[in-house]
Amino acid sequence: MNEYIDKLKSLNLANYGHDFLLTWDKSSAELEATLYLAELLRERHRLGRSNLVFNSGLAVSIFRDKSTRTRFSFASAANALGLAVSDMDEEKSQVSHGETVRETANMISFMTRVIGIRDDLYLGEGHTYMQEVSDAVQSGFEEGVLHNRPGLVNLQCDIDHPTQSMSDLAMLKNYFGSLEALRGKKIAMSWAYSPSYGKPLSVPQGIIGLLTRYGMDVTLAHPEGYSLIPDVVDLAGKQAQAAGGSFKLVNNMAEAFKGADIVYPKSWAPYSVMEERTSLLKQSDRSGLLALEQACLSNNAKFTDWECTEEKLKLTKDGKALYLHCLPADITDVSCEQGEVSKSVFERYRHYTYLEASYKPFIIAAMMFLTSVKNPLSALEKLAKSYEV
């Protein structure tokens, strides 16, 4: 534990701040600190050691979309650090009566240490909403309304999914041995067929927005028309160039898989579709949404061959690329008739996908710790002296 503390002391965390919203807003040192702390908390948990750093307080979660892994990871992380979890149901709150974001943010924060938000349904809205909440609690703290400034953690928005991409990075770091070992490794972040539509863009954007910072060769693959937010794609290219890696876009899944060390086949809706869907959702246009869904499913059906199969995996480096997925995957002949990945591939890599998911509670706990504990290093040193089970 002292080695981890020494590593954290060597990093410049002066500007880590109270929020973790987008990975590309964090410095390399701040990302490393998140990884080191997550690994430390994970190891202490494995050994049965306590990670309690709070003796009271709330962790408030606001989920505007369905969730399993992230919801339970947030609750687990909060509990492990000593916080009680309160899930805000907007249907049961005064939000439905017109309460403003500023008012809501302050009302839920009087004894709150962390706020986690998932808001990924509306393109152009989720990240903006999180910034509004952040500004509101900052004002409340500065004005003396709030005794503590709650830390804000992005549990997925329309732009990024930092708890997922950081969990993936932790998985890759440990699988290959170090962050430095990732340099030169090729990852294929590929669209894959799904019998559903409207899946957020934030997972592929999170991957290309984070892994291009580590000197990796990142290939983004999708059929024509299934583009991501242009600004994020541009950012990925600039980061790859700065880090000495590469970033390229192809419209062929097999081409993306050639020589890859890691493959990440995941469905998402086209950027243009998400723009139209957002407009229809705001208008509560049910008939328009139904028509859009049917059109999208029809278009998806043109690309059923975009599936991660045993044959495609043979194209990867030595035919043994690591398969990653944020879960749940659309598994052919298991969860659907035809999907993102074949049954045999998923079953062979199931252990790794579960292991990948297992990092998330500790990544979230590290984000909570670093955004909300007043003196993280002091708190860690206190934990180091504790051997309670």
The pLDDT tens digits for 178-209 are: 999 999 999 999 999 999 988 999 999 999 99
Please say whether the structural domain 2-158+360-384 has been given the CATH code 3.40.50.1370: yes
Residue 389 has what pLDDT? 42
Q: Which residue has the higher pLDDT, 323 or 387?
A: 323
Would strands 262-265 and 246-250 be described as parallel, antiparallel, or unpaired? unpaired
388 or 274: whose pLDDT is higher? 274
The model's pLDDT over 343-385, given as tens digits with 9 standing for 90+, comes to 999 999 999 999 999 999 999 999 999 999 989 999 999 988 8
pLDDT in tens, 83-100: 999 999 877 777 767 789
From 165, 158, 152, 126, select the one nearest 360 (Cα to Cα).
165
User: How does DSSP assign 46-62, residue by residue?
Assistant: HTT------SS-EEEEE
Q: How far is CA 19 from the centre of its chain?
A: 14
pLDDT of residue 281: 85
Domain with CATH 3.40.50.1370 in the chain: 2-158+360-384, 163-341
Q: Is residue 116 within a helix (H) or strand (E), and if so which, with residue range?
A: strand 112-119
The pLDDT confidence band at residue 325, using thresholds 50, 70 and 90, is very high
Nearest-CA neighbor of 198 among 305, 287, 292, 131? Answer: 292
Class of domain 163-341: alpha beta
- Lowest-pLDDT range of 65-69, 74-78, 236-240, 307-311: 65-69
Positive or negative: CA dihedral 235, 272, 207, 152: positive
Mean pLDDT of all residues belonging to the chain:
95
- H or E stretch at 126: helix 126-142
Position with higher pLDDT, 95 vs 340? 340
List Cβ neighbours of 3 (8 Å cut-off, separation of 6 or more).
none
> What 8-state DSSP symbol labels residue 335?
T
